[in-house]
Each structure stands twice: as structure tokens, then as C-alpha cells.
Amino acid sequence: MKYINTFNINLNPIQGKGESRTYEIQSDKDAVFSMIILNEDGHYYNFPENTIVNEQLDTTTPSGSFSATPTRLSKKTIGSSGTYIGTIHFPSVSDDDEYYIVLQADATSNTFFSQGLSNANDSNESIYRVAKIDQYLDTTLTFSLGSTGSSGTYNTLPSDNTSTGISSTVTRKIFNSKFSISWPVSLSSSQFVIARQPVINDFYFTTTKDTLTADSSSTRLELKDIKGLSVGMGVTGTGIASNSTIVSIFNGYKDENKSTPLNHVYTVPLTAEGDTTAPGTVIIDKSSTFVANRTITFKGFGSNGADAFNVTRFKINNFKLVINPVVTTTDAAVSSSATIPITSTDGIKAAEGVLMTGIGVTSASPHVDAVSNGVNITASSAQTIENGQTVTFTGSSRAGTITADVVIQTFGEDNLTLTLELDNILTVG
């Protein structure tokens, strides 16, 4: 009687482009085994090594692949070294996949598994089911630009920037993948001023979750799944009070029988095998009304929020917003007057931060007190300027550019879109 003692293979997830993995079997001399590999569709691995290469017949070794044709590894006899090393070529996939390896000891050759293989079937010592191996597609991180409140005012926004890398489900390795953003933004009418310079938390993403229960007035929101949620996320939906945010999160639901006014006990319900949801409760900062099975939207911010959501991590360097100066000309001579006739008032806002400069303009750089659209502006002090003279206005505009250097440290478990909220950094009108 001969025994197979160990079977070793890397069981970590495989990235979407596929890879080759070596396995090693240790056994007694002359032990005989075979193998079957199935994917989640019930298709069989073709075992390229089964093909006999014959140059005269133009027979070559095929690539590793899966098909509906039942295939197993041809019986292999392990020699005097007691070790057999083989390779499985996992192919590239277009969606996530999983693989099941079944090792079979050849009982007809008096070969069995030793008790050291704890996964061996107790009722059949010739079958050993290896744990499955998952395969995940690479994920894409998209950086986008948007405006919640003034979206109809902006001209067509620039294209998204995307970057794709190995999913953090496969590896948590730090990549430091870099690219630069340069996003021009413009208005067809009105004008904007800089509210403040952008920061990393101006990038946001959204996700939705469904409620489990109803409540007419509560800050406790019981959800069917809290996976990826984090403290500080915004909360919106029918019945949810405006500007609500998550202040705390608990696994499971409050057990009223075990809880006291000073000690709230949360219990996690049993879930079916293979269920990846995380039932739980979020506490929001404003009392709201909701019903069961209602979809609620959660808004996360910056790298910390994305990391908690699906292990996406990134940095933003040299983050800057610059708006273009407005350059125009006088269309009549001005003599000791604060009313300055100009050929265009587009992009000019009446504000203390909007300054006028040019030849003949007082060195104090007067600000704009009023704008008569398409006619003139009223400066904060009287000026004497020739007709046709160039004047420049800074502080408001109809055009600007956002620039940044992005460093992606980890690509999340799934694709994610991060949108820069223009309304945080530009005030329109």
C-alpha cells in the first residue's frame, strides 16, 4: 500500500489576467494519482500535459483552458524521489471565477491518502478535495468631476481619468501608480469665484443599502448590509433628515430584551452559508423616518472613506484650482469716473475680491462694486483711462483649471468612481 502524504499549492486569489501555479505532491515511491479541476461553470481544465507532442504530426501543447468536455489529468506515477511537481495554467477571464481542485489517488494501483491530508474524504480514502481558488478581475479607479447644485450651468465637463490595477482582493501590495489630472471648467453664462482650494475629501463616492425595519422617528437605521460603511458618511433618502451623517456603526441589531438604557446590546443574526452580507445598524445624527426595504444612499469622502469601503487608497499632491483672468478693453474714454465702459462684462462679478488692473488704473487695484451686464462696471474708486485700453479683472471668471497629481496606492476590491464636487470649491453666480 502506498500513500500520498501532502499536496501543496498557493491558494491565494489569482488576478484576472491569469497565471501559472506550481503544485507539489509528496508520497511513497510508485504512488499513482490523477486530478480534475473544475471552474464555477462546471467546466473542466484541459491539462495541456495530456497532449503528446509530435512535430511530424504538427501536434503542439495547447494553452490551459476550460471547456464542457470532461477531462482529467492522465495517471501520474511518482518516482523514487517521492515528489511530483506540476503546473496549472489558469487562463485570463472576463469575469470573476473560482476553481475547485480534486486530487484522486489511484486505488487500482494500491494508492491512498494518508491521514495527514485532513480534507480527504473519510468514507473514500482515494479522493481529496482541495480548497477552491478564487480569480478576480483587475479593478478600475475612475476620477470624475461633477456639480450637484450647478450642473446645468457648466459647459461640458472634461473626460474622466481612469487607472486599472490588481484588485486588493488579490493583493494588498502598495502600488503607487501615478498620473496627473488637468481639468478645464467653464461657464456659458454667469461667473464663478473660488470658494476655497480643493482637498482630498472633496472627492466622493456613493453606495446604496436597503433598510430592514421601519421607524417613524429614530436615529437608529437597521440595514440588511453595512459592509463598506464608515463613520462620517453622508446619508440621504426618502424620510432621511437633510445633511444627516453616520456617527456610529454596530454589527447586528439591537436586542431590546438584553439591552438597558445605559447598555445597548447588539446581536448578529445567523446567515446562510456563503452569504457575504454584514447585517447591522448605523446611528445617524438626525432623527428620521423610514420604512422597511427602502433604499438609502450613503456618501463617502476621500481616501479614508474609500479605504473603509473597498480598500481603495490614494493620495492627491499639488491639488490646485486656478481661474482665468478676464481681459477686455474700454470702449470709451473715462475721466475721473468710477463708471468704466467695457466691451464685455462676461465673467466679472461685483465683489471686493474682484480687482481691476491696467494702464491708467490706480495702483490700488480697485475692486468691482457693480456690474451692468454688457455695458460697464462700477469701480470702488474713480479712474481716468483712455478709450481702447486693456483692463484685466481677477478674482472671478467663466473659466478655470483644476490640476492634481494622483498616487493610487491600492486598487479596491471592485471598481469605484470618485467624483470631485465642484460646488465645494467654486461658487457660481
Q: What is the CATH number of the domain that holds 50?
A: 2.60.40.2550
What is d(CA 169, CA 13) in angstroms, rounded to the nearest whole number? 7
197 within 8 A of 319, measured Cβ to Cβ = yes
pLDDT beyond 90 at 51:
no
* Whether 56 and 25 share a structural domain: yes
Section 145-169 average pLDDT: 92
Q: What confidence category does residue 118 fall into, taking pLDDT thresholds of 50, 70 and 90?
A: low
* Predicted pLDDT of residue 341: 97
Q: What is the pLDDT of residue 121?
A: 52
pLDDT of residue 275: 79
In a domain, 169, yes or no: no
| Residues 253, 106 share a domain | no
Per-residue pLDDT, 394:
97
Contacts of 363 (CB under 8 A, 6+ apart): none
| Between 152 and 113, residue with greater pLDDT | 113
What is the arithmetic mean of pLDDT over 364-377?
93
Range with lowest mean pLDDT among 187-201, 204-218, 266-280, 393-407: 266-280
pLDDT above 80: residue 382 = yes
Q: Same domain for 35 and 92?
A: yes
Write out the residue range of the structural domain in which residue 386 sits: 326-396
> Is residue 326's pLDDT more than 70?
yes
Domain assignment of residue 195, yes or no: no
Cα-Cα end-to-end distance for the chain: 87
Question: Predicted confidence band at 56 (pLDDT cuts at 50, 70, 90)?
Answer: low
3-state secondary structure (DSSP) of residue 256: coil
* Structural domains of the chain, count: 3
Q: Round the average pLDDT of the chain to a whole number and report it.
A: 93
pLDDT band at 397 (very low <50, low <70, confident <90, very high): very high
- Mean pLDDT, residues 147-165 taken together: 92
Q: Which residues of 52-84 are buried (b: 16+ CB within 10 A; e: fewer)?
A: eeeeeeeeeeeebebeeeebebeebebeeeeeb
Cell output for 142: 475612475
- Is residue 120 within 8 Å of residue 103, measured between CB atoms? no
d(CA 348, CA 100): 67
Q: How confident is the model at residue 57 (pLDDT cuts 50, 70, 90)?
A: low
Compute the distance between CA of residue 130 and CA of residue 35 in angstroms, rounded to an integer. 11
Rounded to an integer, the average pLDDT of 126-147 is 93
d(CA 158, CA 152): 15
For position 149, what pLDDT does the model report? 86
Domain boundary among 121, 136, 151: 136
Q: Which three cell numbers stand for residue 335?
A: 475721466
Point out the least confidently predicted range of 5-19, 116-130, 136-150, 242-256.
116-130
**Are residue 242 and residue 385 in the same domain, yes or no?**
no
Residues 238 and 362 in one domain: no
Q: Does position 422 have pLDDT exceeding 50, yes or no?
A: yes
pLDDT of amino acid 123: 44
Residues 132, 234, single domain; the answer is no
Extract the C-alpha cell encoding 428: 457660481
Is residue 363 over pLDDT 90?
A: no
Whether 420 and 198 have beta carbons less than 8 Å apart is answered as yes
Q: CB under 8 Å to 272, separation ≥6 — which residues? A: none
- Angstrom distance (rounded) from CA 9 to CA 7: 7
